[in-house]
């Protein structure tokens, strides 16, 4: 039994895992790793498990691809005894520790554990050593459609960018993402921009009704009548009118 023993295995005998959480590989990074392998060899072993007469890759697909590019015939591997669930969990853990996965590859890998193996978020959190709230938060990213996911990944935006975009109504997300990418907004700038989009519009002030000329004349007539009535009653009263570009001033002086 090989157990966890380190062995050199033929590249041709290693089968890539179709359930590998990482789906995208940067060609430039692969070329750099290829050159490093040519010079120094594969410094970190791949993780595999026995599958019939072959070896199924658990973790290290990027190293395997680069090793093939470098022309290696054999690569160092650690052979683990693992069932499908254990292998899938280990692949996610290994990639998370190496930060090899995009935010959506992480979410899709976690979702696979739910859909294929029926695990709860709490069970997944225990198996891969991440808080349950973090698991649930990552799964919410899958509410973004595939087009948005691809654009976010291509623009190298972060998980916090994606989470901020989730706050926007679905029909507004594409337009909002266009602006985030075009303006190269940082996470704080993105969150501030989305806060402004979501904040209720300030109520428009009701326009102050301007007095028409007729209204002013009506008021002046009423004031004059009132003063005349006072005079008729024996009260001494005088009125003064001052008019500027912005207002009209009426002063009524009543003798004590």
Give catalytic residue positions.
61
Tell me the percentage of the chain whose pLDDT exceeds 70: 89
* Domain limits, the chain: 1-101, 102-143, 145-199, 223-254
pLDDT class of 203 with cuts at 50, 70, 90 = very low
pLDDT for residue 2 is more than 60: no
Model pTM? 0.59
Task: Report CA-CA distances (Å) from 104 to 24, 167, 229, 233.
Answer: 11, 17, 85, 89
pLDDT for residue 171 is more than 50: yes
d(CA 154, CA 180): 13
CATH, range 1-101: 3.90.1530.30
HSE-CB at 228 with a 13 A cutoff on CA atoms is: 6
Q: Of 75-84, 100-109, 161-170, which gets the smallest average pLDDT?
A: 100-109
pLDDT in tens, 35-71: 999 998 998 899 898 887 889 998 888 899 999 999 9
pLDDT in tens, 115-144: 888 989 999 998 888 899 999 999 999 999
d(CA 15, CA 53): 11
d(CA 38, CA 24): 22
d(CA 162, CA 76): 37
pLDDT for residue 202 is more than 90: no
d(CA 103, CA 164): 13
Cα 130 to chain centroid, rounded: 20
């Amino acid at each position: 039994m090989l157990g966890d023993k380190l062995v050199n295995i033929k590249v041709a005998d290693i089968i890539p895992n179709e359930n590998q959480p990482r789906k995208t590989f940067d060609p430039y990074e692969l070329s750099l790793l290829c050159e490093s392998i040519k010079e120094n060899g594969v410094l970190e072993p791949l993780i595999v498990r026995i599958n019939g007469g072959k070896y199924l890759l658990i973790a290290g697909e990027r190293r395997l691809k680069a090793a093939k590019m470098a022309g290696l015939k054999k690569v160092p591997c650690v052979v683990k005894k693992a069932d499908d669930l254990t292998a899938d969990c280990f692949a996610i853990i290994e990639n998370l520790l190496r930060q090899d996965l995009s935010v959506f590859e992480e979410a899709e890998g976690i979702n696979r554990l739910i859909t294929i193996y029926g695990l709860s978020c709490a069970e997944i959190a225990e198996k891969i050593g991440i808080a349950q709230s973090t698991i649930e938060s990552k799964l919410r990213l899958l509410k973004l459609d595939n087009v948005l996911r691809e654009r976010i990944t291509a623009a190298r935006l972060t998980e916090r960018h994606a989470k901020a975009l989730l706050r926007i109504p679905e029909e507004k997300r594409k337009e909002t993402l266009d602006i985030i990418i075009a303006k190269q907004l940082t996470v704080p700038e993105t969150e501030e921009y989305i806060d402004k989009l979501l904040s209720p519009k300030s109520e428009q002030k009701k326009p102050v009704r301007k007095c028409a000329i007729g209204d002013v004349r009506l008021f002046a007539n009423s004031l004059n009548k009132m003063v005349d009535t006072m005079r008729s009653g024996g009260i001494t009263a005088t009125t003064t009118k001052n008019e500027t570009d912005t207002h009209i001033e009426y002063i009524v002086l009543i003798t004590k």
